[in-house]
Amino acid sequence: MSMSEPHPRLALSTPSRLVLGSVSSGIVGLTLGAMQGGQMAQLRFRAEHAHKMPDTTTGWYFYHKSKNYHAMQGGIREGFRMAARTGFWSFVALGLESTVDRYRGSSDMFSTTVATLSVAGAFSLWHRFSLSTAARTARFGLLFGLAYGAVQDVVGLARGRPIGYVELVRRRFGAATHDGSDHGASGP
């Protein structure tokens, strides 16, 4: 395989990282969407049936049974909808990160930041956000990209993966200290 990465991010190949990242963000989206959808469906049911509240114990039993059924149905529907959204945007971000890595020739937090900022911009355009909301989305994308990229770089350094800007700093400052110590050791 000529496209094999010698030092993949998080010790996972790009296809594995795309699948695992998208699935895990989809699971988070499913959980959050189900909770929000269930609560909204419960409130909607209560609002729609506020004019005909039950009078008997049996009536209350069926009222709560129906309310719980509607909450579950709304939670499942919204959960899958949110899972698809979060999985899609995560797939786009991780794929773009890999593409930027490949074209830059190095994998570090700057590729992650470029990818998350690009996805934040695309997300803002897709949803037709106002300028202030788009700026806030870009700020969150920048912060997430820097944080996630830094975590990946720390894990990569611990595993021995070369990080572009760390290698640059080592070459610039590390070579000067090694040259100075070598000259000092060979002196009279």
Other Cβ atoms within 10 Å of 16 Cβ, number: 12
Looking at residue 105, its pLDDT comes to 84
Q: What is the mean pLDDT of residues 157-163?
A: 86
- Give the model confidence (pLDDT) of 25-77 as tens digits: 999 999 999 999 999 999 999 999 999 999 999 999 999 999 999 999 999 99
**Structure token pair of residue 162:** 């070369």
In whole angstroms, give the CA distance from residue 84 to residue 94: 15
Band (pLDDT 50/70/90 cuts) for residue 1 is very low
More confident residue, 23 or 186: 23
Q: What is the mean pLDDT of residues 168-178?
A: 73
Looking at residue 80, its pLDDT comes to 98
Can you tell me whether residue 22 is helix, strand or coil?
Answer: helix
Asked whether residue 5 carries a pLDDT value surpassing 80, the answer given is no
CA angle 141, 146, 151 (to 5 degrees): 125
Band (pLDDT 50/70/90 cuts) for residue 175 is low
Looking at residue 176, its pLDDT comes to 53
Looking at residue 70, its pLDDT comes to 97
Asked whether residue 2 carries a pLDDT value surpassing 50, the answer given is no
CA angle 26, 163, 136 (to 5 degrees): 45
